[in-house]
Amino acid sequence: MFKRYFQKSSVQNVTLLGLTALVVYYFAFVFEFKYDFDWAVFTHKGQYGHMGLLMLKGLNTTLTITLYSSIIALAMGTIFGLARLSKFKPVYWFATCYVELFRNTPLLIQLFFWNFALPYAFPEDLRLKLFDMHFEFWCATVGCGIFTGAFMAEIIRAGIQSIPKGLLEASYSSGLTFSQTLRKVILPLAFREIIPPLGSEFLNNMKNTSLAMTIGVTELCWSMTEVYSLTYRTFEAFSVATLVYLGMSLAIAGILYIVNERLKIMSPDRITPLRRVADILFWPLDFLGRKLEYVFWYFRKSPDQRTISPLRRSLRMAGKQTVLVLKVLFVAALAYVLYEVGTAVYHFNWEIIWANLKTLLIWRFPNGDDTEFFLGLGGLAGSLLMAAISIVGSFFIGLIVGMGRTAKNRVFRIPSLLYIEIIRGIPLILVILWFYQAILPVVFKVDLDAFWAATIALTFFFGAYIAETVRGGIENIPSGQVEAAKASGLTYFQTMRKIILPQALKQMLPALVGMFIADFKDTSLAYIIGVMELTRAAYAVNNRIMVHPFEIYTTVAVLYFVFSYFMSLYAKRLERRLSPETMRIEM
């Protein structure tokens, strides 16, 4: 009877309000917070300047980096996604190396390499000029674009491969050329399919711009740290930054929702008001596309007088000779790049690498002092330990929250939804700072080592992502199985434990392995609070020897890459075993 009464929406709403009131009462009257909020720090000019203006300047830099890096990422993702489908092996292998290299090394290490190591490849005069041209800003912008582009390339490749082979055969039999098929059939259909995962990558790219603070770019996270270091208003600075990031996440999600609405195929009598708004917003792009169509493809505007444009005619006349020349030039350029890279690696100071390899692997273990974590354990071993602990904890959190997210009862669904969306809407670096600077020491009065603070932050952060994976796995199970279980007399938990979760977990295994790889790479962000994991160990070694950044950061990138790459191969093997019917489209 109680269960039937609790299924009423009014009872669920009252219960939610009651739980919210209890939380507010506890933190307002019972819990000894002992913290006086002072929001005026953002509205009045203080001893160190106007903190509100500082945050606005950081927001402007964040938006600028996000916009430029998103354009770079989309362009590179499209180019390399198509290159991953090429029959010309040098192009295919070059695109594959780009995707695997940048996907399997942390963005923080890439930014350190571009900013601290790459300038030493240039003469001193040029290096000084680079730093006079906002080199850190462009390192962060291009670095984020290249990193995100590698993920987008895989999404676009998968989107193209998802197109039925019959459509390609039909387009070729209709007389369309390869480029016409690509432009008129493949890419429009592929982009309709990949808008949701592409949207996630745009959101991730926006959050990844927070790492620019580590190389001295004055973006939003840097401004936040300046505010709380100058004014000691930790909660105010963190809260404002969190709200701004959540607002940007909602804005990007809204824009992508409009784009998705614009790409939907609708009959004229079923056009929604949102679709009309999207049509108005995209009219300038449609107009520009039609004009470029005539410039690059057709010579006259009138449909009955349309002929091939001079530009297109000249390209057709060039034909196979031009393609052959381009292939030769590409192979020559690739050979030159490989030669330069091989020469640089050959001239590495290998004695420096071997002398510091043990430090990078285990730091000072077992000879660390009392102030260090577990006898000085750190480096690669510390990163692996942190990733293993956090992924186990986040799995259980994700399992519970994911089940709550799929529940029909609002008492379970709404709190789970809020936890997932809030955590997924802010950068991991901000989550780590929240736990280390505010939640653990101030709210829970717990003074933990930085290692454990970062591990707990990673656990709760990836718990939100695993919850979405669990939700997807549960919703993929046919609803008929749930109805059959209910008809058989099984309870909700028995249905989940005996029928739904065993099948869902099997489907989720590749995604969970990928999540562990992401967790391992993101342990590099614990660098920001002083955890001596692999990135922090590399930074410390580089600061000690000073003159060999190429050797140190290349070694660290290889260590991250080797582990992540072999784990990704295992994830792909799992995916093939669980979905054996695959077909690769070559173009």
- Both tokens assigned to 403: 């089940």
Q: Is 50 helix (H, G, I), strand (E, B) or coil?
A: coil
Least reliable range by pLDDT among 89-93, 298-302, 385-389, 402-406: 298-302
Whole-number pLDDT of residue 174: 79
Report the pLDDT value the prediction gives residue 313, as an integer from 0 to 100: 58
pLDDT above 90 covers a percentage of the chain that reads 44
Which two three-digit tokens encode residue 250? 């909602």
Per-residue pLDDT band for 299 (boundaries 50, 70, 90) equals: very low
pLDDT at 293: 61
Q: How does pLDDT run across 499-519, given as a tens digit for each residue?
A: 888 888 877 887 888 889 999
Distance between CA 579 and CA 506 in Å, rounded?
A: 11
| Measured distance CA(329)–CA(164) in Å, rounded | 33
Q: Is the confidence at residue 298, as pLDDT, over 80?
A: no
- Peptide bond connecting 366 to the previous residue in cis, omega within 30 degrees of 0: yes
**How many C-beta atoms surround the C-beta of residue 493 within 10 A?**
9
pLDDT digits (tens, 9 = 90+) for 265-288: 777 777 878 778 887 877 887 777
Q: What is the mean pLDDT of residues 572-583?
A: 64
- What pLDDT, on the 0 to 100 scale, is given for residue 339? 93
Give the bridge partners for 405, in sequence order: none
More confident residue, 36 or 470: 470
Mean pLDDT computed over 482-507: 81
Residue 116 pLDDT exceeds 80 = yes
| Residue 371's pLDDT band (cuts 50, 70, 90) | confident
Question: Is the Cα dihedral 484, 488, 490, 491 positive or negative?
Answer: positive
578: pLDDT strictly greater than 70 = no
Residue 380 has pLDDT above 70, yes or no: yes
What angle, 0 to 180 degrees and rounded to 10, lies between the N-to-C axes of helices 379-406 and 534-545? 150
Q: Quote the pTM value.
A: 0.89
The DSSP call for residue 298 is B
Which pLDDT score, from 0 to 100, does residue 292 have? 63
Long-range CB pairs of 472-478 (<8 Å, 24+ gap) are: 472/508, 473/402, 473/504, 473/505, 473/507, 473/508, 474/402, 474/403, 474/406, 474/500, 474/501, 474/504, 475/406, 476/504, 476/507, 477/503, 477/504
Determine the pLDDT at residue 264. Answer: 72
pLDDT attached to residue 581: 47
425-464: per-residue pLDDT in tens? 999 999 999 999 989 988 888 888 999 999 999 999 999 9
Confidence (pLDDT) at 579: 60
DSSP string covering 367-430: S--TTSGGGGB-HHHHHHHHHHHHHHHHHHHHHHHHHHHH-SSHHHHHHHHHHHHHHHTS-HHH
Distance of CA 475 to the CA centre of its chain: 24
Report residue 104: phi and psi, to 5°. Answer: -105, 15
Which SS3 state, helix, strand or coil, does residue 46 take? strand
Q: What's the sign of the alpha-carbon dihedral 550, 551, 555, 561? A: positive
Report residue 326 as tokens. Answer: 């381009």
| Proportion of the chain above pLDDT 70, given as a percent | 91
DSSP 151-213: HHHHHHHHHHHTS-HHHHHHHHHTT--HHHHIIIIIHHHHHHHHHHHHHHHHHHHHHHGGGGG
pLDDT tens by residue, 176-188: 776 677 777 777 7
Asked if 190 and 168 touch (Cβ cutoff 8 Å), the reply is: no
pLDDT of residue 190: 78
Average pLDDT over residues 330-356: 91
DSSP 8-state code for residue 115: I
At residue 296, the pLDDT reads 54
Helix (H) / strand (E) element for 251: namely helix 234-263
- Please determine, for residue 301, whether its predicted confidence score (pLDDT) is greater than 70: no
Helix, strand, or coil (residue 363) = strand
